[in-house]
Amino acid sequence: MTEEKSFTEEELIELFEFFGKTNSVFHQPLNYSNEKVIEEYATSQYPIIRKYYYDVLWEKLPKKYKEKLLDE
């Protein structure tokens, strides 16, 4: 049986806003080569990427999967 993982209301809002910003940059292919747009996106959004990758999502991963990643 899989254990249900949930996000706080704050986390859900933060993720929704992050994906909104991400979508606004990447839905337009002309942005891909616009150094200014990409730099602004990376600078402003990396803190949220870091937070979720290293903290929030890591804590929600199944134990076996985390062990597998740590063994690589």
**pLDDT for position 34:** 97
Are 56 and 32 spatial neighbours (Cβ–Cβ below 8 Å)? no
pLDDT per position as a tens digit, 6-61: 999 999 999 999 999 999 999 999 999 999 999 999 999 999 999 999 999 999 99
pTM: 0.83
List helix spans (H) across the chain.
9-26, 35-51, 57-60, 63-71
Token representation of residue 18: 């992050």
- Residue-range domain boundaries for the chain: 31-72
Given pLDDT bands bounded at 50, 70 and 90, which one contains residue 1?
A: low
